[in-house]
Amino acid sequence: MSVMAVPAQHGVPERPGMPPMPPELAKLLRAQLAAVADQVEEEVRRQVPEYARPADGPYGRNLRAGVVQALTLFVDHIADPRDDGGAIAATYYELGRGEALEGRSLDALQSALRVGGLHAWRLMGQTAEELGLDSTVVAALGELAFRTVHEVAEAAAAGYAEAQLRSSDELERRRRRLLDLLLEDGPVALEAVQDLAHGARWPVPRTVAVVALAAAPDRREEDRPLAAAGALVDMESRPPRMLVPDPDGSGGFGGFGGRAFTLALRGRPAAIGPTVAVTDAAQSLHLATRALGLMGRGVLPRQGVVRCADHLSTLLLYGDEPLLERLEARVLAPLDTVSAGQRDRLAETLLAWLLSGSNVPDVATRLHIHPQTVRYRLRQLEKLFSDALHDPETRLDLILALRAESLRTPQK
């Protein structure tokens, strides 16, 4: 990595009027550097549990290199105040990146810097006092020690932040690939899912459900994924989609389709696919997408959240619309011989009669009309359909065709 990639230091205490350092001080401290590094390393191991590990491990090697580099930077500042310590700052930048890439917190490294810096100053301060340096020089050395710790800590934090950003971007890419695998047509191997899920840090659930989302009412909101723990989200697809693990348990939106989820949608209509095995996620997506399309046409409720599990018969009816149109045209042909207004009333009465088991009082109650009106309409229907009204297979076809037609009719 180029040293130029390390951000410039900000907020470092530095006084233009800092007194000149005795030339022999840097040489003397440099001669003691190895011994001081040993003591600082031991103190850090004692006070920071994460570094109380074998010296030949990653933490041990990083600790030794970091201590020596920081002490070297301090001495270099004494020898030449104009030295910006760029190479050493780059080392700490890489140390910070390494902590992030290993998934560790920056806290341990920052604690080691504080502990090590304080102990190093105590040891080197003793040397300065033994030389009988003026108190202003000793104070300036203290400021220089603080400046050194600040520089390396800031470099480490910058490296950590950069790696976290890149790690976050990479994690997002891996989760997008995982989502694409889960939602692709055709069989999906569980082993392939598990391999990708491991790299994406996504625990593989037993069941999932896919949510298809309508276009955002406000374009500015479109690229802001809904907050859902563990959900895989693709807001760039059309329609936007979201795969939720364990939708019927504690992992799914706290009661899938409940108030919290509805509020998070900010008024955006959504269709929730049925719960399926993780390798069958594409099936949930297909039904959710179909339901969303039917919502847009008014066949299913246009607003709010629609659960596919509550509308399976409608989804079945509209699974093959050209075939459905043929069925309607064939079985409802007798109704085409009457006026439009009369057709609607007869169709409504016929569907209610078929669904109520041919019970006239029930039909009257359901339609809020007089039973005699029901009987009058039934006589008309008998003339139109003849014996077909009493054929079981024809009755089933009529129920399907009339039900499909009624779903497209605006509710009164």
pLDDT (tens digit, 9 = 90+) per residue, 189-204?
A: 999 999 999 878 889 9
**Residue 59: pLDDT band with limits 50, 70, 90:** low
**CATH 1.10.490 holds for 23-168:** yes
The residues near 30 (Cβ < 8 Å, ≥ 6 apart) are 75, 79
201 vs 131 pLDDT, higher one: 201
Give the Cα separation of 285 and 213 in Å (integer): 11
- Topology match between the domains 23-168 and 329-408: no
**Residue 265: pLDDT band with limits 50, 70, 90:** confident
Model pTM score: 0.59
Quickly count helices (H) and strands (E) in the chain: 15, 6
Query: Mean pLDDT across the chain, nearest whole number?
Result: 81
pLDDT attached to residue 412: 42
Question: Which of 110-114, 164-168, 205-209 shows the lowest mean pLDDT across its residues?
Answer: 164-168
**Residue 158: pLDDT band with limits 50, 70, 90:** confident
Reduced to 3 states (helix: H, G, I; strand: E, B; else coil), residue 245 is strand
pLDDT attached to residue 329: 94
β partners of residue 22: none
What percent of the chain clears pLDDT 90, i.e. is strictly above it? 38
CB 109 within 8 A of CB 51: no
Highest mean pLDDT among 112-116, 192-196, 244-248, 290-294: 290-294
pLDDT attached to residue 313: 92
3-state helix, strand, coil in the chain (%, to 5): 65, 5, 30
For 3-36, what is each residue's pLDDT tens digit?
333 333 433 344 455 667 776 777 877 887 888 8
For 317-368, what is each residue's pLDDT tens digit?
999 999 999 999 999 999 999 999 899 999 999 999 999 988 999 999 999 9
**Residue 150: pLDDT band with limits 50, 70, 90:** confident
pLDDT attached to residue 398: 94
Give, for 149, the enclosing helix (H) or strand (E): helix 135-183
For the chain, which residues make up each domain, given as ranges?
Answer: 23-168, 205-216+226-318, 329-408
For 75-90, what is each residue's pLDDT tens digit?
777 777 665 556 667 7
pLDDT attached to residue 12: 37
379 vs 62 pLDDT, higher one: 379
Region 65-77: mean pLDDT is 76
pLDDT attached to residue 337: 92
Region 101-105: mean pLDDT is 70
Chain Cα centroid distance, residue 355: 45
**CATH 1.10.10 holds for 329-408:** yes
- Residue 288 confidence (pLDDT) above 80: yes
Give, for 210, the enclosing helix (H) or strand (E): strand 207-213
Residue 216 CA: distances (Å) to CA of 261, 264, 268, 290, 402: 15, 12, 6, 18, 34
* Residue of 39, 40, 23, 46 lying closest to 148 (CA atoms): 40
Q: Compute and round to an integer the Cα radius of gyration of the chain.
A: 37
pLDDT attached to residue 38: 84
